[in-house]
Amino acid sequence: MRLLGLFILFLAPCSIALGQRSDDDALRLLDRVVAHYQNAETVHLEATVRAHFQTELSDQTSTSIFSVYTAPGGRFRYEGAVSSGSGLIVSDGTNEWRLLNSLGEYAEELTGTYFASRIAYQSDDRAIMEARDLLRDITALGTSTDAAHFSPNELVESHGAKVNCVVVHFGRQDSTDPRLQSDSKFETVVWIDPSSLKIFKTERRNHSRIMYGMHPAPYGRISESTITTTYEAVNLGFEPKPDTFTFAPPKDAREVAKLPSPFPENTADSAPKGPTPAEQLSIDHIGKPLPVIVFHDNDGNDIPLTRYAGRPLLIDLWATWCGPCISELPILDRIRKSTEKTHLQMIAIDEDTQPGIAASLLKRRGYDWQDFHFNHTVSQGLPTTGVPLIVLADGTGKIVYYHTGADDPNGLAQAIAKLGKEYESVSAQ
């Protein structure tokens, strides 16, 4: 029986290339590819990105080069070169080193310091952030769409060899994102090797109207863009070399105690005094009881939050069109699996336009926690400055963690570990 199962598994990718293909197959293939990248303990990507932007008054082309390494234990290496600068950040899991090539300077801080700060997409920091987003863009493929389609297979060159790639595309008509302009058009095309489930190329084509001030159409100018990402190297589940996550400074670079803030306007004189709005919400809610709120299941039935009283509860307020929400799903999955023998409950409440969209995505991606659809009582009882919002309550219903953003996996794990001895094995890595 096991041999039969392996035989079927072996045939599954091949059927994609033999013409037995439907739109459902296309979406399932995207999900399998994303899961392949998310489940890989180690990831190495080398990519070249060519972008072309055009309006009636401008025509610009740029090329960027990126390198990415990620591994368990908080280890990463993100390096990039873009039109405005180049930079590098590397972490060995304890400390991180950030190099700004335009200054010829680098600094050492505790791992997690940089990405927990406000970061502007400019200069050398833009190169670092876009390198980090390279993997995030892959894991976000198909998350805000409920359909995908096949195009004819195409040969893609890789290291001098031709690879017969399956081509999947989806566009504006398939999107579940409510934020899109009504007259915008976009299409994403993905070239996939069905035997390895690796992506060799992606292309994002966009047609939109750039607005000036508050003037309605026709005052906005039409913008056309095409962003093509070619992957020269894709290695998943490999054993990193010992020096991959160590920092060797360039010969002429000098170490400084602190580099300029990645968000320049946030200087000592101009930085806002006191907590940010998101931090203030956390201060206001930690120590307070969970609110009395009601949300909906996929059939529209009212579900009171009190249904989950008596046991610790983790709530993820999210949306399929939210990039940080999607990047946090694997983290929540690891937390879920590491606490499955405890009393911790976990639910999601989505802010999508229609009930069922988010639940369908979770099911497709293999995440087994239950998803509900929000209503006005959720936003009143669990206010947030944006999604994702993660809320953790102990067994008495008291809120012990309230955080907006997908940038604090270790903080969440530590809050869960403090619930009691049975939660000490929780892991977000």
Predicted TM-score (pTM) of this structure: 0.83
Q: Which CATH number fits domain 12-255: 1.10.1660.10, 2.50.20.10, 3.40.50.11540, 3.30.1340.30?
A: 2.50.20.10
pLDDT value of residue 215: 55
pLDDT value of residue 217: 53
pLDDT value of residue 353: 85
Task: For residues 51-61, give the mean pLDDT.
Answer: 90
Amino acid residing at 69: Y
3-state DSSP helix/strand/coil % of the chain, to nearest 5: 25, 35, 40
Q: Which residue has the higher pLDDT, 216 or 169?
A: 169
Domain(s) labelled CATH 2.50.20.10 in the chain stretch across 12-255
Calpha distance 325→217 (Å, rounded): 32
Which of 63, 68, 24, 25 has the alpha carbon at shortest distance from 46?
A: 68
pLDDT tens-place string over residues 64-115: 999 999 999 889 999 999 999 999 999 999 999 999 999 999 999 999 889 8
pLDDT value of residue 180: 66
pLDDT tens-place string over residues 219-271: 557 789 999 999 999 999 999 998 999 999 999 999 999 988 766 554 444 45
Domain(s) labelled CATH 3.40.30.10 in the chain stretch across 277-423
Contact 409, 416 (CB under 8 A): no
Contact 154, 166 (CB under 8 A): no
Weakest-pLDDT range from 165-169, 171-175, 232-236, 303-307:
171-175
Quote the strand ranges of 282-344, DSSP E.
Answer: 294-296, 302-304, 313-318
pLDDT tens-place string over residues 308-340: 999 999 999 999 989 899 989 999 999 999 999
Report whether CATH 3.40.50.300 matches the domain 277-423: no
pLDDT value of residue 193: 96
Contact 412, 405 (CB under 8 A): no
Calpha distance 227→183 (Å, rounded): 20
pLDDT value of residue 208: 79
Task: For residues 419-428, give the mean pLDDT.
Answer: 94
CB count within 10 Å of CB 124 equals: 26
b/e string for 45-81 if b means 16 or more Cβ within 10 A?
bbbebebeeeeeeeeeeeebbbbbbbbeebbbbbbbb
